[in-house]
């Protein structure tokens, strides 16, 4: 009499345990991807395994990287700036007049929207030029040595206004590039606009305007160099190797609380004998202790000892430059938003390449056309057929930058005769089906068979590949 109820109870309990087991399994959510890209392809490990032992071969020594960097700074086509050779005296009045004139000369010849509102561009740019003329420095002066105290934009005009060519423009057209924390900036002029102060100067890859609150001035050239200059083979600094992370929040160190650090940022380690026992109310166990520049009330730079948790994605000294490491670094951006010139604290296509290679100590120029002028082997693919171009790319080492007009990618490998890349991309149509171009604005893995609005593939448009580890 009691057997059937017991069997029903056992069956019910079995179903409960089965349901609990199912619910406890991690939910597998498929990320969106191009139709020929598999989930396995969305991992650096897949491509590095495909390349095999070649992925671990060191492509450049520290000495070779040092020689490359020196040559890149001297190469006219790279448009890079050797800040250590730009500190001579100059006529500040002449400089501000030239800045005002160039701002007017480079005024867009199309409708301009400021913070989403269409404005009279002649009036707007004339006002900015007048601010430069009336508030800039005078006399014969030397440049001022500064470093960035936060991730910031370098802009073509002295304002933080969002400048677009339509009310819905997703790119701030005034943005030129960005500065990482502790990156050097050589200041040569200033301007006060609407009560806010901006400085004009040079980074290693562009010149432009920055928000005064985002940089701090060093007291001397020696202090400035000591803050940021490192030797390629040294181990007395850390380099941020993740796409980004934030420092811990702190009530006792507000200047660095929750500070954003991005890939390629380099920070000097505090020498062991100089490490304080307590930093902002904390001990140092399981933390790296680095110097970070902070700005005092007068705009002067203070070297502040700061803790970076051991769990953060960074390296003591630069990473070894291997194909596997280049690919692995690239994938740390996978799925991140596209950010023109460093907008949204993210990367555009050329910045992705720059930041990845910076993790090895190698400097790349700002723009795609400039990157093709580095002192390395640049192979032109323009005159090749699609078959020849595909074969040439398949022969590249994974991690090689590929270029087409206005876009750069990092080569990953070739599967079933199709070349694959990773890049910070804007829009494309899937390689299969109807030609429907969709905005992506993300870092994505794609085959070179994806298509543009005119129906041609990326493969059709690839015009060069650059191998920084070889010279012509």
Q: pLDDT tens across 83-128, in order?
A: 999 999 999 999 999 999 999 999 999 999 999 999 999 999 999 9
Q: Which two tokens stand for residue 339?
A: 């950010």
pLDDT for res 349: 97
- Spatial CA neighbour of 445 closest among 420, 415, 416: 420
- The dihedral built from the CA positions of residue 163, 165, 171 and 176, taken in this order, carries a sign that is negative
Q: Mean pLDDT over residues 70-91, rounded?
A: 95
Q: Which two tokens stand for residue 409?
A: 């990618």
- Check residue 281 and give left, alpha or beta (phi > 0: left; psi -120 to 50: alpha): left
pLDDT for res 19: 46
Q: What are phi and psi of 438, to 5 degrees?
A: -125, 140
Report the C-alpha gap between 404 and 450 in whole angstroms: 13
pLDDT band per the 50, 70, 90 thresholds, residue 18: very low
pLDDT band per the 50, 70, 90 thresholds, residue 287: very high
Output the CA–CA distances (angstroms, integers) from residue 140 to 87, 103, 130, 209, 300, in the order listed. Answer: 12, 22, 21, 20, 22
Report the C-alpha gap between 179 and 434 in whole angstroms: 41
Beta-carbon contacts of residue 389 (< 8 Å; ≥ 6 apart): 381, 459, 462
Query: Where do you find CATH 3.90.1720.10 in the chain?
Result: 39-79+320-467
Report the C-alpha gap between 132 and 257 in whole angstroms: 33
Output the CA–CA distances (angstroms, integers) from residue 114 to 73, 163, 193, 340, 341, in the order listed. Answer: 35, 5, 15, 17, 18
pLDDT band per the 50, 70, 90 thresholds, residue 472: confident
| pLDDT reading at 244 higher than 50 | yes
| pLDDT reading at 77 higher than 90 | yes
Helix boundaries (H) for 332-465: 349-358, 368-371, 386-394, 458-461
Q: Which two tokens stand for residue 97?
A: 């007049």
- Asked if residue 65 lies in contact with residue 362, where contact means CB atoms within 8 angstroms, the answer is yes
| pLDDT reading at 24 higher than 60 | no
Q: What is the H or E stretch that residue 228 is in?
A: helix 221-228
Length of the chain as a residue count: 472
Beta-carbon contacts of residue 63 (< 8 Å; ≥ 6 apart): 232, 233
* Of 19-23, 45-49, 67-71, 242-246, the least confident: 19-23
| pLDDT reading at 1 higher than 50 | no
Helix boundaries (H) for 287-396: 323-331, 349-358, 368-371, 386-394
| Exposed / middle / buried, residue 379 (Cβ in 10 Å: 0-12, 13-18, 19+) | middle
- Among all chains, which residue has been given the structure tokens 């420095």? 137
Q: What are phi and psi of 465, to 5 degrees?
A: -130, 145
Q: Which two tokens stand for residue 111?
A: 């409708």
The highest-level CATH class for domain 83-225 is mainly beta
pLDDT for res 13: 55
Report the C-alpha gap between 268 and 225 in whole angstroms: 12
- Spatial CA neighbour of 103 closest among 194, 189, 185, 204: 189
pLDDT for res 471: 79
- For residue 217, the SS3 value is strand
State the chain's mean pLDDT as an integer. Answer: 94
- Spatial CA neighbour of 412 closest among 469, 338, 328, 471: 328
Q: Which two tokens stand for residue 181?
A: 């924390």
Output the CA–CA distances (angstroms, integers) from residue 270 to 138, 145, 273, 293, 358, in the order listed. Answer: 39, 22, 8, 13, 22
The distance from CA 5 to its chain's CA centroid, rounded to whole angstroms, is 67
| pLDDT reading at 307 higher than 90 | yes
pLDDT for res 5: 55
pLDDT exceeding 70 applies to what percent of the chain? 94
| pLDDT reading at 17 higher than 80 | no
Q: Strand pairing of 301-309 and 287-295?
A: antiparallel
Q: What are phi and psi of 28, to 5 degrees?
A: -95, 105
Query: Where do you find CATH 2.30.30.170 in the chain?
Result: 83-225
Report the C-alpha gap between 64 and 360 in whole angstroms: 11
pLDDT for res 31: 79
Report the C-alpha gap between 463 and 173 in whole angstroms: 26
**End-to-end Cα spacing for the chain:** 91
Tally the C-alpha atoms within 13 A of residue 219's C-alpha that lie toward its C-beta: 4
Q: pLDDT tens across 180-203, in order?
A: 999 999 999 999 999 999 999 999
Q: Write down the pTM of the prediction.
A: 0.92
Q: Which two tokens stand for residue 166?
A: 């339509």
For Cα atoms 401, 407, 411, give the angle at the middle one, nearest 5 degrees.
30
* Of 12-16, 217-221, 369-373, 428-432, the least confident: 12-16
- Spatial CA neighbour of 34 closest among 392, 351, 385, 457: 457
Q: Mean pLDDT over residues 252-269, rounded?
A: 98
pLDDT for res 303: 97
User: According to CATH, what is the number of the domain 39-79+320-467?
Assistant: 3.90.1720.10
Q: pLDDT tens across 117-142, in order?
A: 999 999 999 999 999 999 999 999 99
Q: Which two tokens stand for residue 112?
A: 């301009």
């Amino acid at each position: 009499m009691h057997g059937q109820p017991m069997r029903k109870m056992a069956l019910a309990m079995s179903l409960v345990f089965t349901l609990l087991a199912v619910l406890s399994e991690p939910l597998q959510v498929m990320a969106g991807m191009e139709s020929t890209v598999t989930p396995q392809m969305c991992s650096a490990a897949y491509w590095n395994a495909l390349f095999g032992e070649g992925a671990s071969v060191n492509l450049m020594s520290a000495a070779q990287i040092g020689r490359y960097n020196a040559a890149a700074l001297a190469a006219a086509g790279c448009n890079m700036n050797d800040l250590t050779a730009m500190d001579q005296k100059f006529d500040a009045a002449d400089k501000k007049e030239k800045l005002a004139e160039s701002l007017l000369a480079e005024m867009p010849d199309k409708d301009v929207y400021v913070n989403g509102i269409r404005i009279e561009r002649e009036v707007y740019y004339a006002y900015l030029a007048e601010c430069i003329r009336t508030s800039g420095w005078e006399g014969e002066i030397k440049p001022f040595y500064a470093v960035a105290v936060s991730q910031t934009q370098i802009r073509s005009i002295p304002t933080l206004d969002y400048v677009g060519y339509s009310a819905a423009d997703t790119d701030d057209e005034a943005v030129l590039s960005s500065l990482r924390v502790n990156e050097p900036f050589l200041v040569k002029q200033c301007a006060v606009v609407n009560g806010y102060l901006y400085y004009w100067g040079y980074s290693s890859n562009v010149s432009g305007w920055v928000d005064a609150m985002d940089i701090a001035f060093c007291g001397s050239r020696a202090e400035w160099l000591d803050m940021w200059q490192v030797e390629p083979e040294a181990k007395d600094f850390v380099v941020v190797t993740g796409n980004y992370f934030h420092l811990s929040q702190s009530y006792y160190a507000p200047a660095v609380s929750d500070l954003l650090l991005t890939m390629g940022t380099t920070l000097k380690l505090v020498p062991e004998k100089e490490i304080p026992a307590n930093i902002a109310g904390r001990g140092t166990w399981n933390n790296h202790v680095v110097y970070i520049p902070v700005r005092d009330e007068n705009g002067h730079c203070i070297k502040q000892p700061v803790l970076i948790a051991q769990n953060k994605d960074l390296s003591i000294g630069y990473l070894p430059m291997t194909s596997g490491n280049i690919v692995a670094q690239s994938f740390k951006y996978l799925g991140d938003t596209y950010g023109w010139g460093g907008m949204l604290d993210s990367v555009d296509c050329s910045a992705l390449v720059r930041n990845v290679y910076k993790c090895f100590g190698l400097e790349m120029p700002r723009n795609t056309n400039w990157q093709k002028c580095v002192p390395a082997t640049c192979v032109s693919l323009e005159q090749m057929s699609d078959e020849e171009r595909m074969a040439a790319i398949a022969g590249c080492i994974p991690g090689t930058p590929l270029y087409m007009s206005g876009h750069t990618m990092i080569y990953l490998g070739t599967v079933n005769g199709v070349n694959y890349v990773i890049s910070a991309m804007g829009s494309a149509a899937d390689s299969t089906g109807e030609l429907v171009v969709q905005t992506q604005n993300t870092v994505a893995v794609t085959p070179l068979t994806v298509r543009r609005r005119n129906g041609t593939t990326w493969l059709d448009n690839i015009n060069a590949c650059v191998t920084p580890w070889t010279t012509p």
